[in-house]
Amino acid sequence: MTDIAEFDVANAGVLVRGHGLDAWLAEAGELMKLAGPLIVTQLAQMAIMTTDVLMLGHIGKTALGVFRRGGQFIGKTVSIAGTIATGEELAAKFTSALGEQVVYRPLTTEQMRASGPVEFANSFQFYSDASGYFTGVRDLEFVRELNPELQTLDSWLTEHKNEIPLD
């Protein structure tokens, strides 16, 4: 459908008749068919922002380390990571910390495309395809020079394992 003139109003959705609670619920259901994907996308974006804010405490101190060194980093990229690990290695670390078996079950890009917003799938594919680059440019020793308080995943798990819900 490329033109508004092609829109078939007769098949736009269920015509809701009446004025009672049943009509209101039917109308809400039809509205959710349109709004549901937008709501899910908005909630996902909010979850990403929350994660970003949670990570700012650790990343912010590292960024401050960069700023304290002045012009040394002008035009350069500083890649930040506390731990570099594969999916299997991450599962093993969580298993060890939590005392419960954690299994890594990787998704294919096609599975990601089928299960959520296309933006997530595109990011997933980009990071999957370029994983060698992302791990290769991260120098953990250098990042710890910038922020000596930057935790490894192991130390973070030891400190926060009781805050991770297991049910």
Tens of each residue's pLDDT in the chain, 167 residues? 444 456 565 666 667 777 888 888 888 887 777 777 777 777 776 666 555 444 556 677 888 888 888 888 888 888 888 888 888 898 999 999 999 999 998 888 888 888 878 888 888 888 788 888 877 888 889 888 988 988 888 988 898 888 888 87
What amino acid occupies position 29? G
Structure confidence at residue 124 (pLDDT) = 81
The candidate with the shortest Cα–Cα distance to 84, out of 72, 76, 93, is 93
Q: Which of 157, 24, 1, 18 is nearest to 91 (CA)?
A: 157
Which residues constitute the domain of residue 106?
A: 4-163
76 within 8 A of 69, measured Cβ to Cβ = no
| Entry field: residues in the chain | 167
The amino acid at 127: Y
Distance CA 153, CA 81 (A): 10
Task: Note the pLDDT of residue 101.
Answer: 93
- Give the chain's domain count: 1
